[in-house]
Amino acid sequence: MPLAARRRSRAAAPAPRLAPRLALGLALGLALAAVLTACGDKSGSPSSSDQPPTLGDCRVLAPEDVAEPSNATEPVDCAEPHTAETFAVGQLPGTFDDVDYDDEELGAWAYETCSKAFMAFLGADESLVMRTVVSWAWFRPSEEAWQDGARWYRCDIVGGGEQSKEYVDLPTTAKGLLLGRPEDRWMVCADGPTVAGSVKVPCTEPHLWRAVTTISLKKLGNDYPGDRLVEVTTRDYCSNSVGAWLNYPVDYDFGYTWFHQAEWDAGNRRSVCWAKTEQ
């Protein structure tokens, strides 16, 4: 049987701890950073960051911009080069009227809200979103404006993820970007001998691994079941899933990325499966 002949690569690894601002298309560092509240500079931001945001605005953002809880970058014409687009805006629920600026519940609410809007905006389900190179970040008013009662939020799609040193330009609008069969330039691959520690790249660039499926771990219950059970469940599923994706060859390598309790508590219930490919 093919199962007996399958090679299990040593590409398996837990996902790295995520930076507190960015919730990525999961394979690049993956979508949960927004669950953890921002730890950026709280000395206040320029007054323009305190203006309610406008849906559909485009901006030129860099990774250091999304590392901050608020953002004052001026919008640009979406027909011009840009790396970010605002896809969701609104007022925070009244339950956050009296909370601290870095309240954990605020980050968890933003993760759920922006994640759902992100999938709808791209035209993708949760599995596909976890395998794309684009990601999202969310912003709030400056801390000074927060103290004065401002309570809006802004969700932006950005052309990169946790490991990106710089972002790529987005199309005039990223709405529907993943509908149908997405272009390889928006899907995530990895270049390295194993998935763990490899450089994550768009699949149009040279690579040895491709993120091909994900596994839902909801069946393990609501409480975090522990690292070992999450890893073993992920490994066993990915062995079968990648084999099916490759049309059951006699011999193949696969890898998987799984997450820890912090990401679980934030709402993530999926791991990512990788196939070693010849491109």
- Whether the CA torsion 250, 275, 217, 198 is positive or negative: it is positive
For residue 185 the two structure tokens come to: 């330039």
- ∠28-43-138 over CA atoms, to 5°? 30
The CA distance from 223 to 265, in Å, is 8
The CA distance from 267 to 66, in Å, is 21
Higher pLDDT, 82 or 2: 82
Count Cα atoms within 13 angstroms, Cβ side, for 113.
21
What's the confidence (pLDDT) of residue 14?
Answer: 56
For residue 134 the two structure tokens come to: 């684009």
What's the confidence (pLDDT) of residue 237?
Answer: 96
Provide the whole-model pTM: 0.80
What's the confidence (pLDDT) of residue 50?
Answer: 74
pLDDT, the chain, mean: 84
User: For the ranges 42-46, 105-109, 141-145, 194-198, which has the lowest average pLDDT?
Assistant: 42-46
The DSSP result for 145-180, as a single string, is HHHTT--EEEEEEES--TT-SSPPPPPS--TTTTSS
pLDDT tens figures, 18-47: 333 344 444 334 334 333 333 334 333 444
What's the confidence (pLDDT) of residue 260?
Answer: 92
4 pLDDT band (50/70/90 cuts)? very low
Helix (H, G, I), strand (E, B) or coil at 23: strand
pLDDT tens figures, 201-225: 899 999 999 999 999 999 999 999 9
The DSSP result for 176-210, as a single string, is TTTSSS--GGGBEEEESSSSTTPEEEETTS--SEE
pLDDT tens figures, 46-55: 445 578 999 9
What's the confidence (pLDDT) of residue 11?
Answer: 53
**Mean pLDDT value of segment 252-278:** 90
pLDDT tens figures, 119-133: 999 999 999 999 999
Under 8 Å CB-to-CB from 139, ≥6 apart: which residues? 49, 53, 68, 69, 70, 71, 153, 154, 156
What's the confidence (pLDDT) of residue 44?
Answer: 39
For residue 256 the two structure tokens come to: 């998987």
pLDDT tens figures, 128-186: 999 999 999 999 999 999 999 999 999 999 999 877 888 999 999 999 999 999 999 99
- The neighbour count for residue 67, using CB atoms within 10 Å, is 17
User: For the ranges 104-108, 230-234, 235-239, which has the lowest average pLDDT?
Assistant: 104-108
Helix (H, G, I), strand (E, B) or coil at 121: helix
Nearest to residue 176, comparing CAs of 122, 124, 245, 95?
122
**Mean pLDDT value of segment 102-109:** 90
What's the confidence (pLDDT) of residue 263?
Answer: 86
pLDDT tens figures, 72-102: 999 999 999 999 999 999 999 999 999 999 9
199 pLDDT band (50/70/90 cuts)? confident
The CA distance from 70 to 144, in Å, is 11
What's the confidence (pLDDT) of residue 124?
Answer: 95
Buried b (16+ CB within 10 A) or exposed e, 150-167: bbbbbbbbbbbbbbbeeb
Under 8 Å CB-to-CB from 100, ≥6 apart: which residues? none
Higher pLDDT, 149 or 13: 149
